[in-house]
Amino acid sequence: MTPVSIVIPAFNQLEYCRQCVTSILMNTTRPHRLILVDNGSTDGVSQFFDEVPSATVIHLDSNRGFSGGVNAGIEAAEGHVLLLNSDTIVPRGWLERLECALLREPDIGIVGPMSNQVSGAQCIPGLEFANMEEIDAYADRLALERAGQWQSTERLVGFCMLIREEAVRTVGRFDESFGIGNFEDDDYCLRSRRAGYRLCMAEDSFVFHYGGRTFAGMGILGDAWNHLMDRNQQRFFEKWAATASVSPPESLQAAEVANRIALDCWKQGQTAEAVRLFKQAIEHAPEHADGYSNLGAVLWELGERERALENFQRALRRDPRHEAARENYGAAAAALGKQDEAAAFLRSLDGD
């Protein structure tokens, strides 16, 4: 059996660290090695880590951010590497289900769980829990309802990532130029895909995430948070956009970068910039459905409903099973009184 090393970088936030480590000790039956990285904490985390039974503890002199902490842990790791934020709580069976998904196909390089507080497709919205018992009960129910289900994805969030041993050796360290954090996980995912590895979500595995506790503890909120996001977005985009003209695979990656940044701009109310970047994504990868689907969604919000409908159609011509485009197309057609036309279009795609 390949070893698994669980790496947890932390800077302060003692109570969250305590909850995280306690949940691992209680709920992780799969043999593993626990590697705790203290990123120069000042509130008792260092002492707490030293008291955790059988843990390997690494003390850094200063806060090297998520990437720096992760890299220190990876250097001491063996086997598959599980990266875990210190503001998470893991339920029964979490690691076994992640490993099961990782080992389904030899080219799957990274697997992530579903969660209550995370961006992108891994998020299950509307969840609230009062205690550990409720988290365990929900995780058990999800494991039963979605047993063995997984799906490929273009991006996983770094709050919890199980990385195959071979992928760790091939892809290497996290890029510490992203500083305290944000976008280093996007960068690692792109590098992994470029190395030939697939990413997937284990739909039957759930990990609870408070979200943003370390940043909040450092006072990185509001304008400071936006500045950090903007700076790392720019760093991420500049690093990857240069590959756009190299070859089709790199063009697709450049499109994914543009889509990712555009979605963040849209969330922050920067609509014009989002439209520009979605169009840029389409230019990089005109046969990729995501750019058209996302552009359609933002155009609908801007009141350009006919253009939005056209872009949903373009997305579906490229990928008839694109869930977001299909759902948005149906809703848009209904709002415009074009249900019959939409039904005929979908039948033509489905071959009926």
CB-facing half-sphere around the CA of 40: CA atoms within 13 A: 11
Unique residue bearing structure tokens 């490993």:
99
Q: What is the mean pLDDT of the chain?
A: 88
pLDDT, residue 247, reads 43
Q: Tell me what percent of the residues of the chain surpass a pLDDT of 70.
A: 91
Residue in this structure with the two tokens 């890299």, named with its chain if needed: 71
For the ranges 137-141, 147-151, 260-264, 318-322, the one whose mean pLDDT is highest: 137-141
Check: CB of residue 32 under 8 Å from CB of residue 6: yes
Kind plus residue range of the DSSP H or E element containing 199: strand 198-206
Cα 274 to Cα 189, 242, 281, 295, distances in angstroms: 22, 20, 10, 8
Give residue 190's pLDDT band: very low, low, confident or very high (50, 70, 90).
confident
**Band of pLDDT at residue 217, cut at 50, 70 and 90:** low
Distance separating alpha carbons of residues 9 and 38, to the nearest angstrom: 6
The neighbour count for residue 68, using CB atoms within 10 Å, is: 24
Which residue, among 199, 330, 329, 171, has the nearest Cα to 256 in the 3D structure?
Answer: 199
Nearest to 110 by CA among 208, 190, 37, 213: 190
pLDDT at 246 exceeding the cut of 90 = no
- Please enumerate in sequence order all residues whose Cβ is within 8 A of that of 163, keeping only pairs 6 or more positions apart, or say none: 80, 81, 82, 83, 109, 110, 171, 192
- In the DSSP assignment, the letter for residue 121 is G
Q: How confident is the model at residue 180 (pLDDT cuts 50, 70, 90)?
A: confident
Q: What is the pLDDT of residues 298-346, one digit of tens each?
A: 999 999 999 999 999 989 988 888 999 999 999 999 999 999 988 988 8
**Does the pLDDT value for residue 249 go beyond 90?**
no
Neighbouring-strand partners of residue 281 = none
Per the confidence metrics, is the pTM higher than 0.75? no
* C-alpha distances in Å from residue 14, one per residue of 22, 41, 347: 12, 9, 56
Give the integer Cα–Cα distance in Å for 255 and 200: 19
> In which band, very low, low, confident or very high, does the pLDDT at 241 lie, cut at 50, 70 and 90?
low
216 has a pLDDT exceeding 80: no
Q: 304-334: buried (b, 16+ CB within 10 Å) or exposed (e) per residue?
A: eeeebbbbbbbbbbbbeebebbbebbeebbe
- State both tokens at 63: 């806060």
Which domains does the chain possess? Answer: 4-217 (3.90.550.10), 242-350 (1.25.40.10)
Q: In this structure, how many other beta carbons lie within 10 angstroms of the beta carbon of residue 261?
A: 26
* Most confidently modeled range among 151-165, 245-259, 338-352: 151-165
Say yes or no to pLDDT of 197 above 50. Answer: yes
- The better pLDDT of the pair 89, 211 is held by 89
Strands 150-153 and 198-206: antiparallel
- Does position 267 have pLDDT exceeding 50, yes or no? yes
Chain segment 273-301, per-residue pLDDT in tens? 788 888 888 877 777 888 889 999 999 99
Q: Which residue has tokens 């002199």?
A: 61
The end-to-end CA distance of the chain, in Å, is 48
What are the contacts of 56-64 at 24+ separation with CB within 8 A? 63/11, 63/39, 63/180, 64/39, 64/40, 64/176
- Fill in the DSSP letter of residue 63: -
Amino acid type, 40: G
What amino acid is encoded at 191 in this protein? R
